[in-house]
């Protein structure tokens, strides 16, 4: 996918070091890192596992490549090691607010019924962490592990795609079943099957949108779009700050074309929310 050579062989743990590569997709340059495989106990340092997982912790998206013939065995091991290192895959941070105070004990309130925990259990968890005086608000039905994650405050939440390789070794019926599973993409690296589909899945999980710039009196620059996160929905101000931090100082207004406006073009302010493939022209103060 990246035209970078990474050693492959018919045995496991072929990759011994991090191999970087860049793939151009929809005008964006996506850097991909081929990391060495990890073994059971990697989170505790076995097989230099902590260094490998530390690199994965800084990524925007994790691709877990599995053998489609035995995917579950390897999937559980890798997930357990990443979880033990504080990486939460395909999860959202728990919406739990904790406000410490000097006295008064622990008060727990929730915005919905709690089916996995009761207030006494939550208080016990906080006591174990030596938090004896705090106001706790749970805006969701969370488990004990998620409450602990909120207390620790050092967890990383990263989207993940399970890449099921070697689909040339299974039947069409089996392929139809695994293709329906969430957060997965079946491929055959040897034959180059469905690599375009993998890129599309990667793009969807990264949740990016493209916004094109338009200099005054010129056609829009469709070759190098400004890449922004879809969530939270980016505004014109976020778009300007991505181009240059000083751009908002002289910002007057902007012209926008695309799905985010009713008229083509439409004059908008800095708080206008942008959609994918919008075109924006910035007008500065004189």
189 closest CA partner among 93, 24, 63: 63
pLDDT (mean) for 216-245: 90
Domain span(s) for CATH 3.40.50.300 in the chain: 19-90+156-206
- For the four alpha carbons of 190, 191, 193 and 196, in that order, the dihedral sign comes to positive
Domain span(s) for CATH 3.10.20.30 in the chain: 208-284
CA 179 – CA 160 distance, rounded (Å): 16
Entry pTM: 0.83
3-state secondary structure of 125: helix
Q: Under CATH, which architecture does the 208-284 domain have?
A: Roll (3.10)
Confidence of residue 280 (pLDDT cuts 50, 70, 90): very high
210 closest CA partner among 240, 236, 230: 230
Question: What pLDDT digit, counting tens, does each position of 65-121 carry?
Answer: 998 888 888 888 899 999 988 999 999 999 999 999 988 889 999 998 989 988 899
b/e map 40-56, b = 16+ CB within 10 Å: eebbeeeeebeebbeeb
Answer yes or no: is pLDDT of 15 > 70.
no
Question: What pLDDT digit, counting tens, does each position of 182-215 carry?
Answer: 999 999 988 889 999 999 999 999 999 999 999 8
- Among 3.90.470.10, 3.40.50.300, 3.30.1330.200, 3.40.50.720, name the CATH number for the domain at 19-90+156-206: 3.40.50.300
CA 280 – CA 257 distance, rounded (Å): 7
């Amino acid at each position: 996918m990246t035209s970078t050579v990474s050693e492959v062989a018919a045995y496991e743990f072929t990759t011994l070091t991090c191999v970087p590569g860049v793939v151009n997709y929809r005008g964006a340059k996506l850097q991909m890192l081929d990391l060495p495989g990890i073994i059971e106990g990697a989170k505790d340092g076995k097989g230099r596992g902590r260094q490998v997982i530390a690199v994965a912790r800084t990524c925007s998206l994790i691709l877990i490549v599995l053998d489609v013939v035995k995917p579950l065995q390897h999937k559980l091991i890798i997930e357990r090691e990443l979880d033990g290192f504080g990486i939460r895959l395909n999860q959202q941070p728990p919406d739990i607010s904790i406000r410490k105070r000097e006295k008064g004990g622990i008060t727990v309130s929730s915005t919905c019924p709690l089916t996995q925990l009761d207030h006494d259990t939550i208080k016990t968890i906080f006591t174990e962490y030596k938090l004896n005086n705090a106001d706790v608000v749970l805006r969701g039905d969370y488990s004990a592990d998620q409450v602990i994650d909120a207390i620790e405050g050092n967890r990383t939440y990263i989207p993940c795609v399970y890449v099921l390789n070697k689909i040339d070794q299974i039947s069409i019926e089996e392929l139809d079943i695994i293709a329906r599973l969430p957060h997965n993409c079946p491929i055959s690296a040897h034959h180059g099957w469905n690599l375009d589909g993998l890129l599309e899945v990667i793009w969807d999980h990264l949740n990016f949108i493209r916004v094109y710039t338009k200099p005054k009196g010129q056609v829009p620059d469709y070759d190098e779009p400004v890449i922004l996160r879809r969530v939270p929905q980016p505004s014109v101000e976020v778009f300007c700050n991505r181009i240059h931090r000083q751009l908002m100082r002289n910002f007057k207004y902007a012209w926008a074309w695309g799905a985010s406006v009713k008229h083509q073009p439409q004059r908008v302010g800095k708080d206008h929310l942008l959609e994918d493939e919008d075109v924006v022209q910035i007008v500065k103060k004189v």
